[in-house]
Structure 1
Amino acid sequence: MGTPIDNKSMSNPDLSDNADTSNVNVRKRKNRLDFDDMTSLQSDIREMLNNFKADRDAQNTKLYAAIDDLKAQNKEIIKTNSKIEKILEDTTLLYNKLNDKYEKMSTEHDNAMIKINSLEEQVEALQRAQSAAMVEIRNIPDTGNEDLSNLIAVMHGSLGLSFSPNNLKHVRRLKTAHKKQIIAEFQTVQQGTALLQAVKEYNKLHPDNKFNTLNLNIEGEKQLVYVSESLTPRARKLHYFARDLRKNHNYKHCWTRQGNVFVKQTDTSQPILIKSEQQIEALKAASVCQ
């Protein structure tokens, strides 16, 4: 009985030596693998961080470069704006100077125009005074060797007016294309006015046989003779426009007296003294509105 007990006690070391230790070895290998994996993971993470940092640094470098470019552009813009502001200041200053100069010139121009108009009025008054005693006789043919003083005398006689050669200050035929215009200047305005009035009365009394070349003993075909005031160039132009006003804008009368031009819209309306072309245009516009 004692022997089996000894056998059992002797078998314990064997059991210990022969025991299966595979589980222990596996655990040790797994622990080594986990450590290696962790090291590799850390290395990967470190590499990723380094790459990220490198990318970030590269992006930051580009960003800083872009910021530097923007700063440089901003400086250029500020510099350009300063130049523009300076140009605007200079332009404004120049504009103000030019505007002041223009206003000064405009004032001088207005003053000059006032003086010119005043001078024109004075010249017109002198010309009218000089031509007040002159009479225009038109449509008398040039017969060659004519005595114009005698022609004026015959005209007075045919109209029943007294005449003396001393009444005439000067008489001449104008060198126009047809040489049919004669200017007779009398010693007084009244002498010229008397001749004008006599022709006007004759034509009223003889509407079908108005004053003509036969009244002056001029041979040839009968031609109407027109006698009127000698107008200044300005008055002649106004008279032309006034006749157009009478013809086309319902004005009944148009005439001249002492170098002035008058119109009347009806027999009973007041005479209108024509002083300018602008006045003619205003009368035309008013007649259209009526």
Structure 2
Amino acid sequence: MQRSPIKKTEMTHSASDTDIPNIFSKESEKQSKRISAKRLRMADDDGLGHWSIFKDEIKELIDAMVDKQNTRLDKLEKNILVIKNQNDAITNSNNDIKQSMDYVSEQIKDLQNKISNLEGEKNTMTKQMDMIDVRIDNLERINKKSSIEIRNVPRRPKEGKKELFNMIQKLYSVIDSQDMTDAYQLRDVYRLPSKPDATTSTIVAEFSNTLAKDNFIQKVKKYSKNKNEQLNSKHLGINDPKTFIYISEHLTVKATRLFYLARDVAKTQGFDFCWTSNGRVFLRKKENAPHILVKDEETLVSIKKNSGQPE
């Protein structure tokens, strides 16, 4: 095997056989350095790659977190806006309610003023009505001052004025057969209205003057004291059925109620006397004690509170 001829230049620069190991050694060292550098460069390249990837991942993570936070902030902002709108609506509603309440308060004040005015008018009208009632009672008492009433008188069929007059004359003959003068001074006799099914009712006898009426009442009282038998329907000429009759002044509606209440007070409070005179009601505790004029129901209440003495 032939070798190619060696050029002169190569031969000039070629080493001797003794330098060959050194040459290989240097070449190996250079190659090793190159490999090490390359490895370092590769290692450095791998570290930069991992760092870049790490940075990208961190960036993506941060971006995702930022997006998530932005989304939450957007929702929060929307919720805040909704709440703000609701608060505005509530504020407006409260303002409307306040205006309505103010209006209602004004209306209530107006109503209260009207009620106060009506109460004042009512009190005034009540006082006026009381005055009117007093006047009517006085007129009624004057109109009835010469009349008496006979209560619990049996009703009879086909009864007319003549039969009623005969009843009074019969009664008068019983209480005072010696003096019939007042019996012929009757001006009118009539029955008061009663229920259709009532078997008894009240007869009113009007005398021509108060003197005749007072004489009649006095004779009735005198007869009741001196006779053991109480006046009854047979003394009017009615034998069947026999009922007790009661004779007194013909009182007004107010006086009738006062007389009823006064009799009850007389029983409960120990009054010995309770009577009417000229349409008025009187009480007396004992014989010769001062009499008490019963003006109204308040007088009776006062008597109960003060043990028989009016305020």
TM-score (norm 2): 0.75
Q: Could you list the runs of 5+ residues in structure 1 that have no partner in the other structure?
A: 1-5
Task: Give the superposition deviation at 1:249.
Answer: 6.3
Judging changes above 3 Å, is the alpha-carbon distance between structure 1 residues 53 and 243 closer, same or farther for their aligned structure 2 residues? same
Task: Give the superposition deviation at 1:274.
Answer: 3.4
Tell me the amino acid that sits aligned with residue 44 of structure 2: N
Tell me the amino acid that sits aligned with residue 36 of structure 1: G
Task: Give the superposition deviation at 1:128.
Answer: 0.8
1:128 paired with 2:150, answer no
Corresponding residue of 1:168: 186
Task: Give the superposition deviation at 1:271.
Answer: 4.3
SS in 2 for 1:256: strand
Corresponding residue of 1:236: 256
Tell me the amino acid that sits aligned with residue 155 of structure 1: L
For the Cα contact (< 8 Å) 1:173–1:179, is it kept in 2? no
Judging changes above 3 Å, is the alpha-carbon distance between structure 1 residues 41 and 203 closer, same or farther for their aligned structure 2 residues? same
Q: Could you list the runs of 5+ residues in structure 2 that have no partner in the other structure?
A: 1-15
Tell me the amino acid that sits aligned with residue 209 of structure 1: E
Corresponding residue of 1:84: 97
Corresponding residue of 1:181: 202
Q: Give the aligned CA root-mean-square deviation in angstroms.
A: 3.3
Task: Give the superposition deviation at 1:214.
Answer: 5.2
Tell me the amino acid that sits aligned with residue 25 of structure 2: L
TM-score (norm 1): 0.80
Task: Give the superposition deviation at 1:232.
Answer: 1.2
Tell me the amino acid that sits aligned with residue 205 of structure 1: N
1:14 paired with 2:24, answer yes
Tell me the amino acid that sits aligned with residue 152 of structure 1: I
Q: How does 1:83-162 map to 2 (within 5 A)?
A: 83-141=96-154, 144=159, 146-160=162-176, 161-162=179-180
Aligned length: 281
Task: Give the superposition deviation at 1:250.
Answer: 5.6
Task: Give the superposition deviation at 1:238.
Answer: 2.6
Corresponding residue of 1:226: 246
Tell me the amino acid that sits aligned with residue 16 of structure 1: K
For the Cα contact (< 8 Å) 2:283–2:292, is it kept in 1? yes
CA distance in 2, matches of 1:142, 1:38: 134
Larger deviation, residues 76-85 vs 209-218: 209-218
Choose which of 165, 187, 205 in structure 1 pairs with 2:226: 205
CA distance in 1, matches of 2:169, 2:270: 40
Larger deviation, residues 19-28 vs 167-176: 19-28
